[in-house]
């Protein structure tokens, strides 16, 4: 664990000591080395037990893919932010990179924590750098409103989790993830017990987010700078899924009937948010709502509590993390040239940026789950496990899949096809930095097709 955590912490003094000319290259190189070092966590993926154990941290086949995704994203955020921060004062640039690094440290500690209270503290700590990113470096005046929504939705959901964890500690005598699955938590007889169960899951359902408590997400995505959108879509939403998987292993024997309403909400959310995507005019808002739709499937797959559901949820989380982050990067490349997120005003870009259109096409196909990409693998596993639970789920998941294909193609056609508007003159060409950035998102996604056991080892 420390082979990655220590270099990440060492990156902080490097950022503040580096001369102005070398600030971005040194940060990029250092973070790329950390990302490459994180691949060592994939060792022993065939084992079902814990590896890299230390007194407070460890990895297992559930946390390893998420940890590697976290480390992989830091160099990509640095690459994506370089252009629009170049005009800012030097110390503000250093502070911006420092927020990423602190966020990565908190996320590594959250995903590798073996103690539930440590996980809870790190889960909450990720709020602080993200809030600063949104409210300080966001594009518009609404960023303060978006930051308030983000903070209060997440805090209101996670305070019951703290109480629920303390009650669990009181009853079982431990909150260690190594021993909790073997402890025997109390049975859900009374109304208070059922409230305790809901408290365990509420924070994670808000973080995912579940349809109904999702309003903070589109606001946060639209107002955040590019790096904020990337980390939010790729990793911070996955904290919710990871936490649900961890807590449900403990509550396994208790939760069958209680989770039914949440499954229905999640699947209804897949259809509803997909329909909302079809009516969006704002490109970033469309991608944000598509995240809610995909996470609805993940919630359904986790709450069904079958090995196939859990595996499909983990695969879809990793695949969605790379895909949605790539889509936000592509939306940002459009925004830097056209200075608008409205799709009607920034259309027909295939004429001006043909190579970017190729990346857009691959990302849109990944978003609609084209075979043989991991997105489809995850969705099929979740849909089949839900189908095994109830035939009626096929109506919602089938409609959701069709709508997803519809809005993905709508997004591609609106931004790329047609004639270039007359008000667009002297567009910058696409840069190697941007092509490298999108390639580093989409190549791992395509390579996962060749070795999918890296992300499904947990339930194998």
| Listed residue (207, 331, 188) closest to 251, CA to CA | 188
> In the prediction, which pLDDT does 49 show?
77
Dihedral sign (CA 67, 56, 125, 206): positive
Dihedral sign (CA 437, 43, 366, 274): negative
CB atoms within 10 A of CB 175: 20
Dihedral sign (CA 374, 378, 379, 384): positive
CB atoms within 10 A of CB 193: 14
- What is the reported pTM? 0.95
Q: How far is CA 94 from the centre of its chain?
A: 25
Report the distance separating Cα 361 and Cα 155, nearest Å: 38
Torsions phi, psi of 454, nearest 5?
-60, -35
> In the prediction, which pLDDT does 460 show?
46
3-state secondary structure string, the chain?
A: CHHHHHHHHHHHHHHHHCCHHHHHHHHHHHHHHHHHHHHHHHCCCCCCCCECCCCCECECCCHHHHHHHHHHHHHHHHHHHHHHHCCCCHHHHHHHHHHHHHHHHHHHHHHHECEHHHHHHHHHHCHHHHHHHHHHHCCCCCHHHHHHHHHHHHHHHHHHHHHHHHHHHHHHCCCECCCHHHCCCCCCCCHHHHHHHHHHHHHHHHHCCCCCCCCHHHHHHHHCCHHHHHHHHHHHHHHHHHHHHHHHHHCHHHCCHHHHHHHHHHHHHHHHHHHHHHCCCEHHHHHHHHHHHHHHHHHHHHHCCCHHHHHHHHHHHHHHHHHHHHHHHHHHHHHHHHCCCECCCCCCCCCCCHHHHHHHHHHHHHHCCCCCCHHHHHHHHHHHHHHHHCCCHHHHHHHHHHHHHHHHHHHHHHHHCCCCCCCCCCCCCCCHHHHHHHHHHHHHHHHCCCCCHHHHHHHC
Q: How far is CA 387 from the centre of its chain?
A: 26
> In the prediction, which pLDDT does 421 show?
86
CB atoms within 10 A of CB 247: 24
Two tokens at 137?
Answer: 């470096």
Number of Cα atoms under 13 Å in the Cβ half of residue 228 = 28
Please give the average pLDDT of every successive group of 10 residues along the chain, which has 460 residues: 84 90 93 93 69 84 93 95 90 94 95 94 95 90 92 93 93 87 75 87 93 93 93 94 90 73 93 95 95 95 91 95 96 92 90 93 95 94 93 94 96 92 86 95 94 72
> In the prediction, which pLDDT does 120 show?
96
| Listed residue (147, 153, 117) closest to 132, CA to CA | 147
> In the prediction, which pLDDT does 290 show?
96
For the chain, domain boundaries: 1-39+59-455
Buried b (16+ CB within 10 A) or exposed e, 85-101: beeeeeeebbbbbbbbb
**C-alpha Rg value of the chain to the nearest Å:** 21
Q: How far is CA 264 from the centre of its chain?
A: 22
> In the prediction, which pLDDT does 266 show?
94
| Listed residue (366, 373, 218) closest to 291, CA to CA | 218
Two tokens at 127?
Answer: 């709020």
| Listed residue (405, 409, 446, 178) closest to 319, CA to CA | 446
Instruction: Burial-class residue 29 by CB neighbours within 10 Å (0-12, 13-18, 19+).
Output: middle
Report the distance separating Cα 39 and Cα 63, nearest Å: 12
């Amino acid at each position: 664990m420390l082979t990655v955590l220590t270099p990440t912490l060492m990156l902080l003094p490097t950022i503040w000591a580096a001369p102005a000319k070398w600030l971005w290259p040194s940060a990029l190189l250092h973070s790329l080395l950390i990302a490459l070092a994180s691949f060592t966590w994939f060792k022993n993926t065939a084992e079902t037990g814990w590896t890299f154990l230390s007194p407070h941290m460890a990895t297992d086949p559930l946390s390893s893919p998420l940890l590697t995704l976290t480390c992989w994203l830091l160099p990509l955020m640095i690459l994506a932010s370089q252009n629009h921060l170049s005009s800012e004062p030097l110390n503000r640039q250093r502070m911006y990179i420092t927020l990423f690094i602190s966020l990565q440290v908190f996320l590594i500690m959250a995903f590798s924590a073996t103690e539930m209270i440590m996980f809870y503290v790190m889960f909450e700590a990720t709020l602080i750098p993200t809030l600063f990113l949104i409210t300080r470096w966001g594009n518009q005046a609404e960023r303060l409103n978006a930051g308030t929504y983000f903070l209060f939705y997440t805090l209101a959901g996670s305070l019951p989790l703290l109480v629920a964890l303390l009650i669990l500690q009181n009853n079982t005598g431990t909150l260690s993830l190594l021993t909790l699955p073997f402890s025997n938590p109390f049975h859900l007889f009374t109304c208070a017990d059922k409230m305790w169960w809901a408290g365990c899951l509420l924070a994670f359902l808000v973080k995912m987010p579940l349809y109904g408590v999702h309003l903070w997400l589109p606001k946060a995505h639209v107002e955040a700078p590019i790096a904020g959108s990337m980390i939010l879509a790729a990793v911070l939403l996955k904290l919710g899924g990871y936490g649900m998987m961890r807590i449900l292993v403990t509550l396994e024997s208790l939760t069958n009937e209680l989770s039914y309403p949440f499954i229905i909400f999640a699947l209804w959310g897949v259809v509803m948010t997909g329909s909302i995507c079809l009516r969006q005019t704002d490109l970033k808002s469309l991608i944000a709502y598509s995240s809610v739709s995909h996470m609805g499937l993940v919630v359904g797959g986790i709450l069904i509590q079958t090995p196939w559901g859990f595996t499909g949820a983990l695969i879809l989380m990793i695949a969605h993390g790379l895909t949605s982050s790539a889509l936000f990067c592509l939306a940002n490349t459009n925004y830097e040239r056209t200075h608008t997120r409205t799709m009607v005003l920034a259309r027909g870009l295939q004429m001006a940026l043909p190579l970017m259109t190729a990346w857009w096409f691959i990302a849109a196909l990944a978003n609609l789950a084209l075979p043989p990409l991991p997105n489809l693998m995850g969705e099929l596993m979740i849909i089949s496990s839900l189908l095994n639970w109830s035939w009626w789920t096929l109506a919602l998941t089938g409609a959701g899949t069709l709508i997803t294909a519809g809005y993905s193609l709508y997004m591609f056609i609106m931004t790329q096809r047609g004639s270039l508007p007359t008000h667009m003159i002297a567009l910058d060409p696409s840069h190697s930095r941007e092509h490298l950035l999108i390639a580093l998102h989409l190549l791992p996604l395509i390579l996962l097709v060749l070795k999918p056991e890296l992300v499904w080892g947990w339930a194998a």
